[in-house]
Structure 1
Amino acid sequence: MTKQVVFSEEANPPLPIYSQAIISGKTIYVSGSIGITRDMKLVEGGVQAQTRVALDNMTKVLKGAGVDRTAVVKCNVFLADLPRDFAPMNEVYLEYFPVDPPARTCIGVAALPLGADMEIECIAELP
């Protein structure tokens, strides 16, 4: 099986240490995204602002693979403070997946890159 690297110039600044996404067969594996600016700084506004930016970046990577959010079948969300941030993160998440949302896991973690409040990754399918 071959794999194809997905790259979107519009998404978070490209880092040479990972691929934004990988297509293998008809499956797209999108790397985790946190709410950062192009100059690698966390956005202000807490978990809701970070969730919005992370989901926007995830959407741009999916677009680079030729699909949109409706192709997402599974998301994993990581929260640095699960009890505090689950409800506000979920409000924003539901804006992006208002109908037939993908399967999802939400996990509390000890820390995230750059001190982020949240990170999200997803798996999507090509048509």
Structure 2
Amino acid sequence: MTKQTIISEEATPALPVFAHATISGKTVYVSGSVGCDKEFKLQGDIKGQTKAALENMAKILKSAGTDVNNIVKVNIFLSNLKEDFAPMNEVYAEFFPKHPHSRTCVGVAVLPLGAAIELECIAELP
């Protein structure tokens, strides 16, 4: 089995200890994305951070040769599950209007950069 490392020039820079994504076979494993810009500045409240994290994930998928329509699983981590679950879902529903994939959402104590959200996904190549 061969694996391919993906680094996207369009996405928020990956830290030196991991890649944006790894392709193994026909499966793309996308590393976690928080809702920040290329200078690592968080993008507002939970809605702004959710939008930025989803857009970043889409850029990584594009660099890997696939897109959000080929996602099979998303994992979401929220630092304030009680307060942020509903507003996160509002943005998420706009990004994925038909929810064609599996999803998990869990509450965590702390996220990188003090972010409100981090998400990762698994997708297939077309």
TM bucket normalised to smaller = over 0.9
Quick one: distance in 1 between partners of 2:99 and 2:33?
22
**CA distance, structure 2, for counterparts of residue 26 and residue 111 of structure 1:** 32
| Long gaps (5+) in structure 1 | none
TM-score under structure 2 normalisation? Answer: 0.97
Task: Give 3-state SS (helix, strand or coil) of 1:62's partner.
Answer: helix
> Counterpart of 1:122 in structure 2: which amino acid?
C
Cα deviation digits, residues 86-120 of structure 1 (max 9, x gap): 00000111111112431000000000001000000
Q: Deviations over 1:29-52 (max 9, x none)?
A: 0000001111112112x1100000
Q: Percent identity?
A: 60
State the Cα RMSD in Å.
0.9
Alpha-carbon distance change, 87 to 124 in structure 1, aligned in 2, over 3 angstroms:
same
TM-score normalised to structure 1 length: 0.96
- Which aligned segments of 4 or more residues in structure 1 are displaced greater than 2 angstroms? none
Q: After superposition, give the CA deviation of every residue in 1:7-37 in whole Å (9 maximum; x if it has no partner).
A: 2100002321110000001100000000111
Q: Give 1:1-127 correspondences, 5 Å limit.
A: 1-44=1-44, 46-127=45-126
How many residues were matched structurally? 126
